[in-house]
């Protein structure tokens, strides 16, 4: 790639990258995904206080959180302006190890810093659960979080999120696309949960104790009660709280089958949660 071509690509990415500030303190980066004021960043960047987004030209706008998914550390912000230049999201499933990548962000408040690297791996990272990550050696620093990771053509393949084992980790762009489309919106269950270790059929497993069941919630209409312990989803044992959060994600009306125990640990029952229904009826 010609140096001039690379410079043009980097400049285009810089113009679509923003600085996200919370409570008057620079928190990190983000990037424009729609011309009507939609901005993606990390959930941990937009986690508290009044938010503002500063564009590449210095203009600043108040921002509100439109969607947030803490499990994937993503947030979709909205600012009241139009005619913005959005990035192009690439199908991140096509990304391959060895590809050149470009990271843009605001490390230590330095606006629009550009670094390059190579993709080292794509998949899970030890100690970070089942989440899929793009792992690259592009140099990141505090302030890069939420900024774009792009390929050599300038198409965004991920969201820079953290550094682990000396490599930068980015949330894949396909996950971002699902956030934008609402696929990660969670149907409210109406409960307060607490994880607990328990023994079922002679083996130890995770249980989720219902500390509270809200009146009129889908959990109440499914006949779940305070003190019940969730043990499975669709006949599969719970591995973590993430399993339940993932099951609640999605759009449209559907029924979710949860296994639970009430009193007798030897008797497993099933609750039928009607999610996304405009009117609740007892299952």
- Told to judge if 16 belongs to the known catalytic residues of this protein, a careful annotator would answer no
57 CB contacts (<8 Å, ≥6 apart)?
A: none
Per annotation, catalytic residue among 52, 73, 92, 151: 73
Per annotation, catalytic residue among 16, 29, 92, 145: 145
Cβ-contact 248, 187 below 8 angstroms: yes
Cβ-contact 255, 228 below 8 angstroms: no
- Told to judge if 73 belongs to the known catalytic residues of this protein, a careful annotator would answer yes
- Told to judge if 145 belongs to the known catalytic residues of this protein, a careful annotator would answer yes
- Counting every residue, how long is the chain? 283
Per annotation, catalytic residue among 22, 44, 47, 120: 44
Beta strands in the chain (DSSP E): 17-22, 25-34, 38-41, 51-54, 60-69, 74-79, 100-105, 113-123, 133-136, 148-151, 156-164, 167-172, 191-200, 203-213, 229-233, 236-237, 254-261, 268-275
The residues carrying an active-site annotation are 44, 73, 145
């Amino acid at each position: 790639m010609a140096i001039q071509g690379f410079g043009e690509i980097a400049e285009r990415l810089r113009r679509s990258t923003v600085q996200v500030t919370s409570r008057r303190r620079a928190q990190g980066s983000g990037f424009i995904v729609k011309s009507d004021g939609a901005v993606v960043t990390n959930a941990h960047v937009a986690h508290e206080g009044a938010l503002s987004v500063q564009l590449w030209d210095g203009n600043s706008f108040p921002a509100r959180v439109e969607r947030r998914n803490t499990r994937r550390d993503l947030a979709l912000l909205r600012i009241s302006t139009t005619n913005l230049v959005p990035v192009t999201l690439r199908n991140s499933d096509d990304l391959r190890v060895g590809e050149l990548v470009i990271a843009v962000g605001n490390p230590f408040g330095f606006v629009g810093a550009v670094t390059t690297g190579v993709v080292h791996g794509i998949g899970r990272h030890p100690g970070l659960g089942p989440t899929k990550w793009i792992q690259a050696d592009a140099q990141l620093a505090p302030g890069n979080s939420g900024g774009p990771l792009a390929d050599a053509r300038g198409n965004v393949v991920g969201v820079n999120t953290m550094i682990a084992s000396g490599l930068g980790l980015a949330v894949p762009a396909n996950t971002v696309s699902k956030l934008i489309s609402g696929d990660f919106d969670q149907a409210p269950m109406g409960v307060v949960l607490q994880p607990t270790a328990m023994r079922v059929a002679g083996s130890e497993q995770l249980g989720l104790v219902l500390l509270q069941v809200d009146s009129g919630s889908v959990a109440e209409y499914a006949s779940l009660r305070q003190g019940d312990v969730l043990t499975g989803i669709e006949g599969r044992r719970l591995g973590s709280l993430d399993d339940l959060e993932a099951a609640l994600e999605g759009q449209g009306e559907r029924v979710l089958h949860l296994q639970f125990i009430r009193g007798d640990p030897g008797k497993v029952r099933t609750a039928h949660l009607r999610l996304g229904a405009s009117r609740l009826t007892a299952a």
